[in-house]
Amino acid sequence: MKDEPRVLQISPIRNGTVIDHITAGEALNVLKILGITGTTDECLSIATNVASEKSGRKDVVKISDRELCTEEVDRIALIAPQATINIIRDYLVCEKMGVEIPRVLLGVVRCPNRGCISNTNEPIKSRFEVTKRGLHCLYCDWYLKDDIPGHII
């Protein structure tokens, strides 16, 4: 692989956000956690499993004309803790930041406990605190330990 020329997989963007160094294979989960689907308006470029000097392989997501806010950025840490967020303005990287795991997640993941009040028709959002043991449901005390992407709302 070393002898392959370094080519750009996706073009630079003029304005927006580049989420770089995403754990390989997690790009689509990053979009999911940001609430971006095939039917939302964003102009997206996605590269998966591209060569990375730092981590071997990585995914990259570029969102044109949208600057993510801190709350959105930090959700990404749940599935791609090594990700870096680059805010691009007029083709220049104006801000570069890491992602930080949030303390509390509101309305981001669904509680696996079917009997949890957050899974009923009550008008409430799921509420988890992030702990070393996993995501702790503040309504029913359930711990979500595996497959966090699979529980994203």
Could you write out the DSSP letters of every residue in the chain?
A: -TTS----SS---SSEEEEEEEETT-HHHHHHHTT--TTS--EEEEEEEEEETTTEEEEEEEEET-PPPHHHHHHHTTT-TT-EEEEEETTEEEEEEE----SEEESSB--S-TTSGGGSSSS---EEEEETTEEEETTT--EE-S-SGGGB-
Shortest spacing between CB 45 and ligand CTP, in angstroms: 8
Q: Which of 35, 65, 71, 93 binds ligand CTP (CB under 6 A)?
A: 93
Q: Which of 17, 18, 29, 58 binds ligand CTP (CB under 6 A)?
A: 18
Per rule CB under 6 A, is residue 29 in the interface with ligand CTP?
Answer: no
Complex with ligand CTP: residue 95 or 129, whichever CB lies closer = 95
Per rule CB under 6 A, is residue 94 in the interface with ligand CTP?
Answer: no
Question: Known binding site for Zn(2+): residues?
Answer: 111, 116, 137, 140
Binding-site residues:
111, 116, 137, 140
